[in-house]
Amino acid sequence: MNGVYVLRAGILSLKVTRRAVAVCGVLALALVALALWAFTLGSYPLSLGELAAVASGTAGTGVRTVVLEWRAPRIVAAVLFGAALAVGGAVFQALTRNPLGSPDVIGFTTGSYTGVVLTLLAGASSYAALAAGALAGGLLTALTVYLLAFRRGVRGFRLIIVGIAVGALLSSVNTWFSVKADVDTALRAAVWGAGSLSAIGWPAVLMSSALLAAVALAAPVAQHRLRRLELGDETATTMGVPVERTKLLLVVLGVAATAAVTAAAGPIAF
């Protein structure tokens, strides 16, 4: 009716409009075009014909290596990580009801960076270790900000102000660690801290995908509650939503989505 369709899965439902479908279709086509263009760029330029040869299995070993081992994981990572950062930013902006409420402004990204720096100082450099450090650092920062901002509930403006303060403190801590660490560790932390997809490979993409899949499974339930929270805490309470537990769940989901990206590509700003 009126171009609005409702998709249902158990207790969950989603309204979809024709305009949304059209916009998503155009964006999907643009994404495919940009991905194909990205495959052709670089110090070893490729043509669309060579890409077709890779797809058909008739390309040479060198071309297959460039496409499948070097550029493909970076392009897939760019799509996945962009989506993860978009979800994390949307969650925090809706939670704080403020366009400034992104994970990097609130300090959660800096906390993930601190976790990775501590992991590097401990001598671990595998993606699994960095992911664990980023997730632990982000969650501990989120818990600290949440507790400091809590006063008869958590309000968006308090969460942002406290998050900015905690993020500034952690930024100073990260700088101090970099100064005190040995040259090799400080260099690795500095290179990683710049944020880049240049070193991404399939192992990092697969491990990030596993964490992001867990976030995606929990997202529909969180989205259902988030829509009610947008009506106000009091209204959401009368509708049966456990407000503070829901906010904590949303913080965990947002931090997990951001940490998955931070561990693999470094702190990418919103």
| pLDDT per position as a tens digit, 159-192 | 788 888 998 999 899 888 888 888 888 887 777 7
Inter-residue contact 228 to 107 (CB < 8 Å): no
| pLDDT per position as a tens digit, 10-44 | 666 667 788 888 898 999 999 999 999 999 988 88
Are 100 and 7 contained in the same domain? no
Query: What total number of domains does the chain contain?
Result: 2
Cα angle, residue 144 at apex, residues 160 and 103 outer, rounded to 5°: 40
Residue 130 lies in a domain: yes
Cα angle, residue 121 at apex, residues 186 and 84 outer, rounded to 5°: 85
Q: 56 Cβ partners below 8 Å, 6+ apart?
A: none
Inter-residue contact 125 to 189 (CB < 8 Å): no
Residue 16 lies in a domain: yes
Residue 184 lies in a domain: yes
Residue 61 lies in a domain: no
Range(s) of the domain holding residue 1: 1-38
The residue behind tokens 């991404």 is 200
| pLDDT per position as a tens digit, 186-206 | 887 777 777 788 878 888 888
